[in-house]
């Protein structure tokens, strides 16, 4: 209390537009490998789709083009664009550049000032741009390093072997994909070709603000838990600001209901607010086939001005794992949504194109609606792929398709040095905050089949190294991934399993690596029932 009196309260001035954005997406980017390709192209885009549009290479999917075009991903590439800035923009004292998604290893330069470096396609980046680096006419240059050679370099400088080195030879893939935070299957997989795309795959924009002005952003909204006694929902909201120690009036409304909430708060950069919403005021979100997919727009205001909003839904999730009666080994493993047990019908989702810029919202809709029409109610977002765009999750919300969501690690051991773990931590925090408002996501899973990798010793790790291999596994999926999820996704409405598949509670009892991990009496299994003979 006393300390609060010592805060300096800034007077908040909210102008009609308190930030100024310049998007750099669109055409007029030039890409070159500085050897034998230079082309004009459109962002979001990657080298293959840009060169194909410029008629310098054939359609990558045809014939043996996955092999014939392989040289492209051994090259470094430079993406450049010229852009003008006007005096208003330049007069602002806080200028940043935002990259929603960049694939993957790059250095960003503006007018010869190095602005920042990236090495994960699973994190969005924001870099400060010094005013002295900018003028009226500017050029941005994004210098990509070959992802294949980068992964090789990381593997060579790592002080241990992390098998497998390469995918099976039949895949004709590239090696050491576990050393780069990039779509695992892009280095080759059973179902798909090796393209390891290079490019700018999301929005990219410059933003100018004045530090004397306060900018508040909505970081995340999470329907964290339901209190049976008070019949109310606990909703966690995280806000951030470019300023600290100021007082402000924050208001939330839930559109199309009578619920609203208003409070006077003191920001210290970040602010987390927990509110309670009575169950009587809303109707619940149900999986396909069990009821309506009621969704509500949760809107955040600062001093009566809309900051942002999220579409949310209200449902409880329990993953029930009860022991059977004495004398029978194993536990149940089923989902209960809103106190109703659900019969799960679903399938597995892999990225629907090697090049994400070719996946339209219409394609997402056609695929997910097909799943809905086939009476599916759950899809697993597979850990060898990517975290999809926001529109994918909103469609799943609207269609009642529950998502079992893996983190993007698959069929491999992984490095666990501090730099890698820090990168993964940032990825999990970013992705969970981005996605947690979606009622469709009913479970997080640490990885795809990496418990099996160890339990069944797929890669012939020696017995002497097995203990370290298990410790490394727990370092990554328990101490890093699970801990990061728990930091930002609180409450009890979204269970976590350490791997797909696992033995559930039995896997935990065996310190996260179950000896008999394919035991069909516990947890989930990956049923490979197809006959290959
Ligand atoms: C793209 O670049 C060309 C040539 O540099 C120029 O004539 C054209 O106006 C530019 N278009 C846009 C939209 O900036
Ligand atoms: C570019 O050079 C590579 C060798 O680095 C060669 O394989 C490829 O055919 C060349 N492509 C074109 C379009 O010249
Ligand atoms: C920041 O303030 C300067 C005047 O000091 C103004 O010219 C500029 O447009 C302001 N920037 C923004 C983003 O409002
Ligand atoms: C590609 O970029 C990396 C990182 O900047 C650099 O070490 C390497 O020498 C470059 N390779 C070529 C052929 O320019
Ligand atoms: C490798 O790194 C681990 C910690 O990450 C360290 O304990 C070990 O001593 C290192 N080994 C070598 C050979 O440098
Ligand atoms: C605000 O939260 C972000 C992550 O959500 C964190 O990186 C940052 O350090 C926090 N800032 C402060 C001042 O707590
Ligand atoms: C579903 O929505 C319809 C139309 O709004 C409504 O009539 C019905 O009562 C709702 N069903 C449930 C279970 O909420
Ligand atoms: C809120 O109600 C309006 C008017 O009935 C409707 O158009 C809108 O879709 C509703 N919003 C949500 C999130 O259901
Ligand atoms: C249950 O598991 C124990 C320990 O693995 C085993 O000894 C026992 O035979 C099992 N019982 C049944 C009924 O399968
Ligand atoms: C597994 O590794 C051992 C040495 O640790 C070697 O003798 C054996 O041949 C390997 N087995 C396979 C299938 O690679
Ligand atoms: C591995 O750990 C187990 C249990 O902690 C221990 O009994 C065993 O001796 C260890 N094995 C090696 C090779 O260090």
Instruction: Check which CATH number belongs to the domain holding 186 and give it.
Output: 2.60.120.260
Substitution site in 33, 105, 145, 151 for ligand 4 pocket (most atoms within 8 Å of beta carbon): 145
- Residue pair 467/408 in contact (Cβ under 8 Å)? The answer is no
Provide the domain limits for residue 423: 317-509
**Ligand 3 binding pocket includes 94 (Cβ within 6 Å):** no
Q: Which residues have any ligand 4 atom within 6 Å of their CB? A: 76, 145
- Both 150 and 186 in a single domain? yes
Substitution site in 467, 468, 512 for ligand 11 pocket (most atoms within 8 Å of beta carbon): 467
Distance 159 CA to ligand 5 centre (A): 6
- Both 164 and 225 in a single domain? no
Instruction: Check which CATH number belongs to the domain holding 235 and give it.
Output: 2.60.40.10
Is residue 521 domain-resident?
no
Atom of ligand 6 nearest to the CA of 268: 13
Looking at the 3D structure of the chain, how many domains does it have?
3
Domain boundary among 188, 207, 226: 207
- Both 177 and 274 in a single domain? no
Atom of ligand 6 nearest to the CA of 244: 13
Least Cα distance to 382 among 104, 163, 192 occurs for: 192
Q: How far is CA 397 from the centre of its chain?
A: 17
Is residue 442 domain-resident?
yes
- Both 448 and 471 in a single domain? yes
pLDDT at 517: 85
Strands 402-406 and 441-445: parallel
pLDDT at 268: 87
Nearest ligand atom owner, CA of 419: 5
For 158, phi and psi rounded to 5 degrees?
-80, 145
For ligand 11, atom 10, the nearest C-alpha belongs to 467
Distance 329 CA to ligand 9 centre (A): 6
> 312 forms bridges with which residues in the sheet?
296
Nearest ligand atom owner, CA of 92: 3
Is residue 146 domain-resident?
yes
Atom of ligand 6 nearest to the CA of 219: 5
Least Cα distance to 206 among 103, 119, 104, 131 occurs for: 131
- Both 239 and 175 in a single domain? no
> 264 forms bridges with which residues in the sheet?
249
Atom of ligand 1 nearest to the CA of 27: 13
Is residue 265 domain-resident?
yes
pLDDT at 118: 98
Nearest ligand atom owner, CA of 467: 11
- Both 327 and 307 in a single domain? no
Is residue 291 domain-resident?
yes
pLDDT at 326: 82
Please count the residues of the chain: 533
- Both 104 and 24 in a single domain? yes
Classified as helix, coil or strand, 327 is: coil
Domain boundary among 152, 179, 207: 207
CA dist., res. 141 & res. 151, Å (int): 22
pLDDT one-digit tens code per residue, 270-280: 899 999 999 99
Nearest ligand atom owner, CA of 475: 5
- Both 98 and 233 in a single domain? no
pLDDT at 8: 33
Number of Cβ atoms within 10 Å of the Cβ of 57: 19
For ligand 5, atom 8, the nearest C-alpha belongs to 159
Atom of ligand 7 nearest to the CA of 283: 14
Residues of the chain with pLDDT under 50: 1-17
For ligand 3, atom 11, the nearest C-alpha belongs to 92
Domain boundary among 172, 207, 242: 207
For ligand 4, atom 2, the nearest C-alpha belongs to 145
Is residue 19 domain-resident?
yes
End-to-end CA distance of the chain: 74
pLDDT at 6: 34
Instruction: Check which CATH number belongs to the domain holding 352 and give it.
Output: 3.20.20.80
pLDDT at 301: 97
Distance 338 CA to ligand 10 centre (A): 50
The per-residue b/e assignment along 389-428, b for 16 or more CB within 10 angstroms, e otherwise, is beebbbbbbbbbbbbbbbbbbbbbbbbbeeebbebbbbbb
- Both 102 and 180 in a single domain? yes
Is residue 529 domain-resident?
no
CA dist., res. 48 & res. 57, Å (int): 8
Nearest ligand atom owner, CA of 256: 8
Distance 314 CA to ligand 8 centre (A): 16
Distance 330 CA to ligand 9 centre (A): 9
Q: Which residues have any ligand 11 atom within 6 Å of their CB? A: 463-464, 467
- Both 331 and 444 in a single domain? yes
Distance 460 CA to ligand 10 centre (A): 6
Number of Cβ atoms within 10 Å of the Cβ of 310: 18
- Residue pair 130/114 in contact (Cβ under 8 Å)? The answer is no
For ligand 4, atom 14, the nearest C-alpha belongs to 76
Substitution site in 13, 91, 94, 212 for ligand 3 pocket (most atoms within 8 Å of beta carbon): 91
Strands 378-381 and 402-406: parallel
**Ligand 2 binding pocket includes 36 (Cβ within 6 Å):** yes
Is residue 131 domain-resident?
yes
CA dist., res. 226 & res. 223, Å (int): 8
- Both 135 and 180 in a single domain? yes
Substitution site in 155, 156, 158, 159 for ligand 5 pocket (most atoms within 8 Å of beta carbon): 159
**Ligand 3 binding pocket includes 13 (Cβ within 6 Å):** no
- Both 30 and 151 in a single domain? yes
For ligand 4, atom 5, the nearest C-alpha belongs to 145
């Amino acid at each position: 209390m006393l300390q609060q009196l010592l805060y300096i309260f800034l007077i908040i001035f909210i102008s009609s537009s308190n930030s100024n954005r310049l998007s750099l997406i669109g055409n007029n980017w030039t890409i070159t490998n500085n050897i034998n390709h230079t082309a004009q192209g459109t962002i979001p885009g990657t080298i293959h789709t840009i060169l194909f549009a410029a008629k310098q290479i054939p359609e990558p999917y045809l014939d043996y083009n996955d092999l014939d075009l392989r040289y492209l991903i051994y090259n470094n590439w430079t993406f450049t664009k010229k852009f003008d800035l006007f005096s208003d923009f330049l007069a602002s004292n806080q200028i940043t550049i935002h990259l929603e998604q960049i694939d993957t290893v790059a250095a960003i330069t503006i007018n010869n000032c190095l602005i920042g470096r990236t090495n994960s396609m699973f994190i969005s980046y924001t870099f400060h741009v010094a005013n002295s680096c900018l003028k009226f006419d500017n050029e941005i240059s994004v210098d990509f390093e070959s992802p294949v050679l980068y992964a090789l370099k990381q593997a060579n400088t790592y002080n241990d072997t992390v098998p497998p080195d390469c995918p099976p030879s039949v895949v004709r893939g590239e090696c050491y994909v576990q050393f780069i935070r990039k779509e695992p299957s892009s280095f080759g997989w059973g179902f798909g070709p090796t393209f390891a795309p290079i490019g700018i795959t999301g929005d990219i924009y410059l933003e100018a603000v004045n530090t004397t002005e306060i900018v508040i952003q909505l970081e995340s909204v999470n329907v964290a838990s339901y209190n049976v006694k008070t019949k109310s929902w606990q909703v966690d909201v995280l806000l951030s600001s470019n300023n600290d120690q100021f007082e402000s009036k924050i208001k939330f409304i839930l559109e199309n209901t009578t619920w609203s909430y208003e409070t006077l708060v003191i920001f210290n950069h970040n602010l987390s607010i927990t509110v309670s919403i009575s169950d009587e005021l809303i109707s619940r979100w149900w999986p396909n086939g069990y009821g309506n997919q009621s969704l509500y727009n949760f809107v955040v205001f600062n001093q009566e001005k809309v900051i942002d909003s999220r579409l949310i839904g209200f449902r409880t999730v329990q993953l029930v794992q009860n022991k059977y009666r004495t004398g029978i080994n194993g536990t149940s493993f089923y989902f209960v949504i809103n106190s109703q047990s659900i019969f799960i019908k679903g399938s597995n989702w892999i990225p629907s194109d090697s090049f994400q810029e070719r996946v339209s919202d219409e394609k997402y809709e056609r695929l997910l609606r097909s799943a809905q029409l086939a009476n599916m109610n759950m899809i697993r977002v597979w850990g060898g792929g990517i975290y999809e765009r926001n529109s994918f999750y909103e469609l799943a919300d609207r269609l009642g398709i529950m998502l079992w969501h893996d983190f993007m690690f698959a069929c491999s051991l992984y490095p666990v040095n501090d730099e890698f773990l820090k990168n993964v931590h940032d990825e999990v925090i970013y992705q969970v905050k981005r996605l947690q408002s979606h009622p469709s996501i009913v479970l997080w899973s640490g990885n795809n089949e990496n418990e099996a990798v160890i339990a069944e010793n797929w890669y012939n790790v020696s017995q002497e190294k097995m203990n370290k291999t298990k410790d490394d596994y727990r370092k990554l999926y328990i101490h890093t991934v699970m801990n990061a999820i728990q930091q930002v996704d609180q409450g009890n409405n979204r269970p976590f399993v350490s791997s797909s598949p696992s033995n559930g509670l039995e896997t935990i009892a065996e310190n996260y690596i179950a000896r008999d991990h394919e035991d069909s009496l516990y947890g989930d299994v990956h049923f490979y029932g197809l006959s290959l003979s």
